[in-house]
Amino acid sequence: MAEKKPRRKELLKEPDEFITWSARAVAFARNNPRTIGIAASLVVVVALASLAYYGYQNRRQSAAHEMLESAVRTYEILTVSENSKSSPEQDKVLAELDTVSKNYGGLPSGEVAVLYEGHVLFNKGDYEGALKRYSQFQASNLARKGLGPLAQYNIAETYMALKDSEKAISVFEQLSRDINSPYRREAYSSIARIYEMLDKKKEATQAYKQYLKIFPEAPDADFVKAKIAQLSIQG
């Protein structure tokens, strides 16, 4: 037996849910003006607090950016100075970067300051200090959002400066396996150079061949071919 459909008149007799709830809301507001007033006040307070926090964060970001920009500008000037390693200005820049990284650590400028602290310490010859800063930057939000290879490259270079060839090769190998890394070519080249410095001619030759296999059109391809020929004769 077919289900009986409700007639139009019967449908009109059914209460409209939207109207019913609206009426209830109006009635509640009339009967509870204090509660409604408190709720409205809370909404306003939350909105004002959000605006205040947003403004505060913007001011912090601006201050951090200005301090970082000033320190980086001085750093770049000092990098071309002959006495950059022992210059008191390097210590001053390091102190400025340290202030930014400590006071604004949760902001991008604070994280970039850590990276530049590593650069300054590296230039000063404090490789252990530089390694600590680069490792700290590697754990930052910026590194997780795409600057991880930059951190790895600086870490590998620092291991080379520390003459820890094994760890340097390990980090460069990680970079070489990352097809999206902008440092991939440098990683392969560095591995070959490290083996060559260690006088491991066979490993160096293989590394240079691998470099040419993956980057046959590299700008230094002719130089690498000559290196392979030279190492093959020596080996």
Q: Which of 27-31, 68-72, 93-97 has the lowest average pLDDT?
A: 27-31
Q: Note the pLDDT of residue 105.
A: 84
In a domain, 88, yes or no: yes
Domain count, the chain: 2
Residue 127 pLDDT > 90: yes
Judgement on whether residues 154 and 72 belong to the same structural domain of the protein: yes
Contacts of 175 (CB under 8 A, 6+ apart): 149, 152, 153, 156, 181, 183, 184, 186, 187
In a domain, 28, yes or no: no
pLDDT tens, residue by residue, 96-115 = 999 999 999 889 999 999 99
**Banded pLDDT at 235 (limits 50, 70, 90):** low
Kindly state whether residues 158 and 200 are assigned to the same domain: no
Which domain, by its residues, includes 226? 173-235
Q: What's the pLDDT score for residue 106?
A: 83
Separation of alpha carbons 117 and 128, rounded Å: 12
pLDDT at residue 51, as a whole number: 45
Share of the chain above pLDDT 90, in %: 55
pLDDT of residue 7: 56
For residue 117, is it within any domain?
Answer: yes
What is the chain's mean pLDDT, rounded? 82
If one compares 158 and 84, the residue with the highest pLDDT of the two is: 158
Q: State which of 129, 162, 195 marks the end of a domain.
A: 162
Interatomic CA distance for residues 34 and 5, integer angstroms:
46
- Cα 66 from Cα 69, distance rounded (Å): 5
Shared domain check, 148 and 52: yes
* Whether residues 132 and 183 fall in one domain: no
Stated pTM of the model: 0.73
The model's pLDDT over 151-200, given as tens digits with 9 standing for 90+, comes to 999 999 999 999 999 999 999 999 999 998 899 999 999 999 999 999 99
